[in-house]
């Protein structure tokens, strides 16, 4: 059996006053690309927030990259997040810093000190995402697709094994969405697990993979009809 990078067993997720999911069980294997689908308000963001320890797991057991989500202490949360790559729909870039400074800020915050190593890592990733000539530009000078490429580079800085992508194409036009998807697909082919929430059914068809649906407080795998 393939090694699991994420496993939830009888997990309840949400907030003390309102559980979004109750008694759910699921797993994602190393190197899998998994879509998370469901209507707005069905709990996709709450699940992701639990995975990166923004909200605690209420009940049950959860393991992500060998960290126990139900027993995380405050020291472990930054260590877990360092091993995750998180991509948001609205990019969350720092508008008062250029592309290079946005990425350098994250590396320094996660313990990188050598200026040459920082420069090398940023150049590698900007080449990878295809915007190495934009490093002196500010986010407001970039298109939505370019900003999302910066966000993907930021997510990859510490070479994470697990990528969480929360509607990464939600603010992009169809053509740009496909280019961003091709980039995520390529990252997955390099062995990284990708867990991506989306409403974009064109992408689901063009890039078919395992789908988990959030509905009525449950998560279940969508079985493809043959």
Residues 134-140 have a mean pLDDT of 97
Residue-wise DSSP of 74-95: TTHHHHHHHTEEEEETT----T
- 59-64 and 67-68 strand pairing: antiparallel
CA distance 13 to 4: 20
Q: Is residue 93 part of a domain?
A: yes
pLDDT tens figures, 83-131: 999 999 899 999 999 999 999 999 999 999 999 999 999 999 999 999 9
Q: Is residue 27 part of a domain?
A: no
Q: Is residue 206 part of a domain?
A: no
pLDDT tens figures, 149-191: 999 999 999 999 999 999 999 989 999 999 999 999 999 999 9
Q: Is residue 143 part of a domain?
A: yes
Q: Is residue 127 part of a domain?
A: yes
Greatest C-alpha distance within the chain: 53
Structure tokens at 70: 């139900």
3-state secondary structure of 4: strand
Percent of the chain whose pLDDT exceeds 90: 92
Q: Is residue 36 part of a domain?
A: no
For 133, the domain range is 85-159
Q: Is residue 2 part of a domain?
A: no
What per-residue confidence (pLDDT) applies to 1? 47
Q: Does the pLDDT of residue 2 top 70, yes or no? A: no
Q: Is residue 140 part of a domain?
A: yes
Q: Does the pLDDT of residue 226 top 70, yes or no? A: no
CA distance 22 to 25: 9
Count of structural domains within the chain:
1
């Amino acid at each position: 059996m393939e090694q699991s990078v994420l496993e939830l067993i009888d997990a309840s997720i949400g907030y003390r006053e309102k559980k979004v999911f109750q008694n759910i069980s699921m797993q994602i294997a190393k190197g899998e690309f998994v879509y998370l689908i469901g209507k707005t308000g069905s709990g996709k963001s709450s699940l992701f927030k639990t995975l990166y320890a923004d909200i605690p797991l209420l009940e049950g057991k959860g393991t992500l990259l060998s960290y126990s989500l139900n027993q995380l202490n405050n020291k472990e949360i930054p260590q877990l997040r360092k091993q995750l790559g998180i991509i948001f729909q609205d990019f969350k870039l720092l508008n008062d810093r250029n592309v290079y400074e946005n990425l350098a800020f994250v590396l320094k915050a996660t313990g990188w000190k050598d200026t040459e190593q920082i420069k090398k890592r940023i150049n590698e990733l900007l080449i990878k995402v295809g915007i190495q000539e934009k490093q002196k530009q500010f986010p407001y000078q970039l298109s939505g697709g370019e900003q999302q490429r910066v966000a993907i580079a930021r997510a990859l800085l510490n070479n994470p094994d697990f990528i969480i992508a929360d509607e990464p194409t939600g603010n992009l036009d169809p053509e740009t969405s496909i280019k961003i998807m091709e980039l995520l697909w390529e990252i997955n082919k390099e062995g990284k697990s990708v867990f991506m929430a989306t409403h974009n059914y064109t992408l689901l068809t063009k890039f078919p993979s395992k789908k988990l649906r959030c509905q009525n407080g449950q998560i279940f795998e969508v079985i493809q009809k043959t």
